[in-house]
């Protein structure tokens, strides 16, 4: 499913045929066939999306916010905010609540009626994933502090610390009968423990790290595990064995996984600007995702230093040609001499609109010398710097030519 202008960070599916994609391009895609409907409203990358049915969904991302969308009514509103990036979402079994995992160290449970959220505090670091128990009474959370914790989903009270792992845990899934929990960690650890006791059941840790995404298909007894090296490992939950280990990407990570409702296909997202789907029964003959021609994957020796700086620092968010290509940032085409925040068709932050900055050699040099967070605090640009003066000079020289000619 092609059309996004950035990597795919989250995927959700519905039994009604809806597929939702969350992207680095600040948008959510709604897919029924080949033509998407775009939902715009976030001010930074969208990391997660959760489907409630009947065209209703919740999304969350790097702008710290959760947004509720009613696509049939054509409305959206901010459901609430964290104090850090929101990484994952989970929907309660009754579809009336959504849980969020945030890098502010909390998980939160949100009702859709604008009541204050239930805030779950206790983790010592980022919360990376959440999942409701099958009856909706408990919430499970996974954290960079290496623990999985269980909470009362009504009150937010801690119930149990189920897992103490030596490294941060990025993802978890729960059996439909709540008899076990599977988790994936930053050290590559991939394990299953029993409930309620946390006794080890199986370990599928391979020499790859970290684990970034997991998905469960109870009907076909499969757990899909995605890692930073681009593999999707399929675990058979009936016999506790590795059923498949598929290299899904030419380069880059697997950030998002979801099974189709019938469990016959696995959907995945990564560095490419598209969601890919493969039949679970045919992974041995499946084509890989991520086009080898992607500009940011070009070998360094085939580029000038200025172009290399652009590919590393700018290319995922910005195009240099007239077509902005649904990127997270506006096109840089003819940027020299342009006032910041004035390009038609892009939703700039308030900080840039009317800020009086004119983009030229001096201001672009200052932008990367200081970093956007210091030079234009409050803008949507991610925090990054180019520390070497010669690298900044080479980038500016490249941009003066590429943005004039519209080279992409």
Mean per-residue pLDDT, 219-235: 96
- Which top CATH class is 8-285? mainly beta
Lowest mean pLDDT among 99-103, 135-139, 271-275, 299-303: 299-303
Domain boundaries, the chain: 8-285, 295-405
Report the 10 Å Cβ neighbour count for 301: 6
DSSP 3-state helix, strand, coil percentages of the chain (rounded to 5)?
15, 40, 50
How far apart are the C-alpha atoms of 187 and 143, rounded to whole Å?
A: 13
pLDDT at 300 over 70: no
Give the least confident one: 108-112, 167-171, 218-222, 375-379: 375-379
337-353 pLDDT, tens digit per residue, is: 999 888 887 878 777 77
For the cut 90, the answer to whether the pLDDT of residue 302 exceeds it is no
User: What is the predicted pLDDT for the residue at 323?
Assistant: 78
Per-residue pLDDT for 208 more than 70?
A: yes
d(CA 190, CA 235): 10
Q: Is residue 295's pLDDT more than 80?
A: no
Which residues are paired to 389 by β-bridges? none
Instruction: For residue 82, give the DSSP letter.
Output: -
Q: Which structure tokens are listed for 335?
A: 């940027």
- The span from the CA of 270 to the CA of 268, in Å, is 7
Q: Any idea which architecture 295-405 has in CATH?
A: Orthogonal Bundle (1.10)
Res 292: pLDDT: 46
**Full-model pTM:** 0.84
pLDDT above 80: residue 164:
yes
Give the position of tokens 């009604």: 16
Whether residue 407 is predicted with pLDDT greater than 70 in this model: the reply is: no
Q: What is the mean pLDDT of the chain?
A: 91
- Domains 8-285 and 295-405 agree in fold: no
pLDDT digits (tens, 9 = 90+) for 49-95: 999 999 999 999 999 999 999 998 889 999 999 999 999 999 999 99
- Is the pLDDT score of 36 beyond 50? yes
3-state secondary structure 221-274: CEEEEEECCCEEEEEECCCCEEEEEEECECCCCEEEEEECCCCCEEEEEECCCE
């Amino acid at each position: 499913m092609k059309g996004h202008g950035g990597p795919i960070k989250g995927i959700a599916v519905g039994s009604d045929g809806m597929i939702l994609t969350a992207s680095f391009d600040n948008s959510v895609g709604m897919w029924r066939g080949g033509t998407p409907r775009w939902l715009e409203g976030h001010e930074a990358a969208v990391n997660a999306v959760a489907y409630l049915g009947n065209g209703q969904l919740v999304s969350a991302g790097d702008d710290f916010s959760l947004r509720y969308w009613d696509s049939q009514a054509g409305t959206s509103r901010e459901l609430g905010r964290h104090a850090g990036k929101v990484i994952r979402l989970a929907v309660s079994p009754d579809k009336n609540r959504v849980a969020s995992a945030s890098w502010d160290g909390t998980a939160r449970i949100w009702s859709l009626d604008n009541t204050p959220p239930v805030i779950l505090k206790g983790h010592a670091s980022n919360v990376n994933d959440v999942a409701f128990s099958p009856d909706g009474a408990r919430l499970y959370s996974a954290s960079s502090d290496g623990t999985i914790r269980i909470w009362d989903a009504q009150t937010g009270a801690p119930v149990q610390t189920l897992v103490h792992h030596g490294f941060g845990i990025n993802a978890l899934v729960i059996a439909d009968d709540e008899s076990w929990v599977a988790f994936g960690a930053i050290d590559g650890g991939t394990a299953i423990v029993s409930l309620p006791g946390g006794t080890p059941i199986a370990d599928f840790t391979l020499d790859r790290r970290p684990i970034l995404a997991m998905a469960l298909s109870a009907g076909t007894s499969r757990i899909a595990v995605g890692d930073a090296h681009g593999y999707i490992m399929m675990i058979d939950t009936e016999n506790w064995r590795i059923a498949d280990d598929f290299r899904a990407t030419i380069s880059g990570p697997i950030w998002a996984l979801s099974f189709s409702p019938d469990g016959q296909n696995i959907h995945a997202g990564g560095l490419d600007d598209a969601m890919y789907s493969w039949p679970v029964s045919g992974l041995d003959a499946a084509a890989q995702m991520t086009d080898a021609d992607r500009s940011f994957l070009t070998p360094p020796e085939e580029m000038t230093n200025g172009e290399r700086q652009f590919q590393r620092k700018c290319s995922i968010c910005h195009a240099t040609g007239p077509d902005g290509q649904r990127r997270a940032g506006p096109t840089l085409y003819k940027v020299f001499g342009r006032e910041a925040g004035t390009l038609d068709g892009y939703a700039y932050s308030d900080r840039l609109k009317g800020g009086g900055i004119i983009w030229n050699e001096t201001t672009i040099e200052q932008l990367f010398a200081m970093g956007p967070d210091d030079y234009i605090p409050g803008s949507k640009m991610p925090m990054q710097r180019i520390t070497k003066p010669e690298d900044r000079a080479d980038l500016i020289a490249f941009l003066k030519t590429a943005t004039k000619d519209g080279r992409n």
